[in-house]
């Protein structure tokens, strides 16, 4: 069992989220594994461009 401090708070460690119609999908925060890595250990990806309104430009 993982340390409670590392369990993803978005999905509560299940790895799944559900929308308003109860369709389940993989948690985008933890990637579906239920463990959230702290932001300090992440490598920032600068592959997105953002406009003045903070919208992602593809």
Residue 57 domain flag: no
3-51 tens-digit pLDDT: 677 899 889 989 999 888 888 989 888 888 888 876 554 555 556 677 7
According to DSSP, the β-strands at 49-50 and 56-57 are: antiparallel
Residue 17 domain flag: yes
> Would you state the pLDDT for residue 19?
86
> Would you state the pLDDT for residue 39?
58
> Would you state the pLDDT for residue 58?
55
Residue 4 domain flag: yes
Token output for 49: 């461009």
> Would you state the pLDDT for residue 2?
54
> Would you state the pLDDT for residue 55?
72
Residue 50 domain flag: no
List the domain range (segments joined by +) for residue 31: 1-38
**In 7-41, which positions are buried (b, 16+ CB within 10 angstroms) versus exposed (e)?**
bbeebebebebeeeeeeeeebeebebebebeeeee
CB neighbour list of residue 27: distance below 8 Å, 6 or more residues apart: 8, 10, 11, 14, 15, 16, 17, 34
Residue 14 domain flag: yes
Residue 2 domain flag: yes
Residue 55 domain flag: no
Domain count, the chain: 1
> Would you state the pLDDT for residue 51?
74
């Amino acid at each position: 069992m993982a340390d409670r401090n590392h369990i993803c708070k978005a999905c509560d460690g299940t790895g799944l989220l559900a929308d308003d119609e109860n369709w389940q999908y993989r948690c985008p925060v933890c990637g579906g594994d239920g463990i959230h890595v702290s932001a300090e250990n992440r490598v920032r990806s600068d592959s997105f461009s953002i406009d003045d309104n903070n919208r992602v430009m593809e």
